[in-house]
Amino acid sequence: MRDCDIICIGEPLVEFNQISGSDWRQGFGGDVSNVAIAAARLGAASAIATRLGDDGFGAELRALWEHEGVDASCVVTDATAPTGLYFVRHDADGHGFEYRRAGSAASLLTADALPIEGIKGAQFTHVSGITLAISANAREAGLESMRMARAAGRRASFDPNLRLALWSLEDARRVIRQALGLADVALPGLDDARQLTGLDAPEEIVRAFHDMGPDIVALTLGEEGALLGHAGTITHVPGVPVAAVDATGAGDCFDGAFLSRLTAGDTPEAACRYAVVASALSVAGYGAVAPLPTAAEVAAAVSE
């Protein structure tokens, strides 16, 4: 594979989003796949390393990555395990998820099958808590990819993306702490971070994440924007008012935008402001991938 800005390690999924009643719209998701696509749409060279089932859904994901310009040359097809699925339902409380991912091809990812040269050639290796939760071998693969990146003088980024349907809070806290000790950049969401740390105040959470290892912490606050911790300072980046339709994948969009701007040479503060705008634009439509903005759309919104 070619050298890239960001390589994402983890599980892609096919999405079915409930528009109304029995009307479902097929799309695509999986947090690290969303990050790779978001980064590519914003001008970064991104790649994904994972496993897909030898099925129609796996073929559709490959076609998606080709269309979006995401390097999928490190993706393995598994003849015996399926591509994972998930369903998004909407109600007055927001959106809820149901998954069909047990035994998925991506959950069979192993450390000895990681694309070593791809990781060495990427500015960032990006891993999520979901990668670490779907199976013991995927957990070790995710952690090892971060070790490889650091050993090669590259950087590792980590989004905790806590999913307590996949593991206990006790296990999540223990393993995520390991991952944060390997991360240069942490990208937690506020709700997840509160559960992981037991803290409430965003500033205290940022400091707690710094204490676990990362130099840069960007804590997303939903419509309130983000809180950036870097070089001994904590800065609030306010949110952008939008008419939200579906927040699925907004955090992944933030991650892809933030990392894409860091690889382009932006300061963490400038990258965070850009990512807040990009993630706000991403909630204007249904699904994790379809509403992800392009660089031109973000630029237009920034100029406004």
Is beta strand 226-230 parallel, antiparallel or unpaired with respect to 233-237? Answer: antiparallel
Asked if 218 contacts 187 with a C-beta cutoff of 8 angstroms, the reply is yes
Q: 192, 252, 255, 266: which one is catalytic?
A: 252
Residue 235 β-bridge partners:
228
Tell whether the torsion through CA atoms of 32, 37, 42 and 47 is positive or negative: positive
DSSP state of 294: P
C-alpha span between 67 and 272 (Å, rounded): 27
Count of CB atoms situated within 10 Å of the CB of 203: 13
**Residue whose pair of structure tokens reads 């905790």 in the numeric block:** 160
């040269």: which residue's tokens? Answer: 117
Angle made by CA atoms 184, 9, 186, in degrees to the nearest 5: 25
Which two tokens mark 189?
């969401």
Query: Is 252 considered catalytic here?
Result: yes
Rounded Cα gap, residues 278 and 300, in angstroms: 11
Active-site positions read 252
